[in-house]
Amino acid sequence: MHQRFRVLDSPASGEPRTAFLAAAAAMADPPRAAVVIGGGVARVDAVFLDAIPSIRCLISTAAGVDHIDLAECARRGVAVANSGTVYSADVADHAVGMLVDVLRAPPRLGGGAVRPARSLAGALRSGLHGQLLTCDFLCQI
pLDDT digits (tens, 9 = 90+) for 126-135: 555 565 555 4
CB 34 within 8 A of CB 57: yes
Closest CA to 13 of 45, 50, 51, 60: 51
Distance CA 64, CA 57 (A): 16
| Residue-range domains of the chain with CATH | 10-82 (3.40.50.720), 88-138 (no CATH)
C-alpha angle with apex 32: 35 to 3, nearest 5 degrees?
95
CB 100 within 8 A of CB 120: no
pTM of full prediction above 0.75: no
The model's pLDDT over 7-58, given as tens digits with 9 standing for 90+, comes to 777 888 888 888 888 888 888 887 777 777 777 677 899 988 888 888 899 9
CB 33 within 8 A of CB 55: yes
